[in-house]
Structures are given as C-alpha cells and as structure tokens.
Copies of this chain bind each other. A is one copy, B any other.
Amino acid sequence: MTERKSGNLFAKLTPPASEERFEALLETDGVTLEHIVSTGQATPPGDWYDQPRAEWVVLLKGAAGLRFEDETEVRELRPGDYVLIPAHARHRVEWTSETEPTVWLALHVAESRGA
C-alpha cells in the first residue's frame, strides 16, 4: 500500500450498463471497500443477502430502496444516506433508479468494538 492510487467515484458513469459495476477500491485483512454503480438493477425476486461481515453502505448519487427481511417498510435511500447492515442481517435491494446511475460506497468489515 505504497501507491497513491487516486480516482473519481463519479467518473465514467455512462453509458447505462445491463449489469451492476463493482470495483474493489481497497482490500486489507478483513476489510473490503467497494465502489458500486447500479443502473436500475435490483436483487432478484425472493433473494436475500446474508453476509458474514457487517457492511457500512452509503448511497452517493441516484436512489434506491433497501429492505431488511424483518422490516415491513422499504428504506428509501437518497444521496448521503448511509446504513450499517449488521452481519447476517438479511436484506435486499428492492430497486435502484432507472433514470440515473446510482453510486454506492460499501465497506465490508469483519468485526467491531464500539460504534
């Protein structure tokens, strides 16, 4: 980690893609920082994410609906909104904007003390 890797999270957002784009920005022991660009995708019907690590996720552009299995309401996320998704908290992305790219930053971490 001696390289001063730099870039822009909002660059190259076009053209709309048929698949979500994932890019690992940083990967260390137990920690992954991921840049995600969605263009209308959602978690397939009936599927739930059940992750072994906690995920801190922020939506930076666009909009999305996030649902936890044990919640009835879909959380609507707008730019700047972040949520900490505990390990094994089953959740899914109900929708992402179809009119503009949705940019996420997701930090996956193995364990926590505090916060």
Listed in ascending order, the chain A residues whose CB lies under 8 Å from chain B are 1-11, 24-31, 33, 54, 56, 58, 60, 68, 75, 78-87, 89, 105, 107, 109-115
Q: Which residues of B contact A75 (CB under 8 A)?
A: 6
Q: Which residues of B contact A1 (CB under 8 A)?
A: 54, 84, 86-87, 111-112, 115
Q: Which residues of B contact A7 (CB under 8 A)?
A: 81-82
Q: Which residues of B contact A78 (CB under 8 A)?
A: 8
Bound together, the chains give a CA A87 to CA B28 distance in angstroms of 13
B105 A26 Cβ-Cβ under 8 A: no
Which 9 pairs, one residue from A and one from B, show the smallest C-beta to C-beta distance? A10-B80, A1-B112, A9-B80, A8-B80, A28-B112, A27-B114, A6-B83, A5-B84, A27-B115
Q: Which of the residues B9, B29, B81 comes within 8 Å of A82, measured between beta carbons?
A: B9
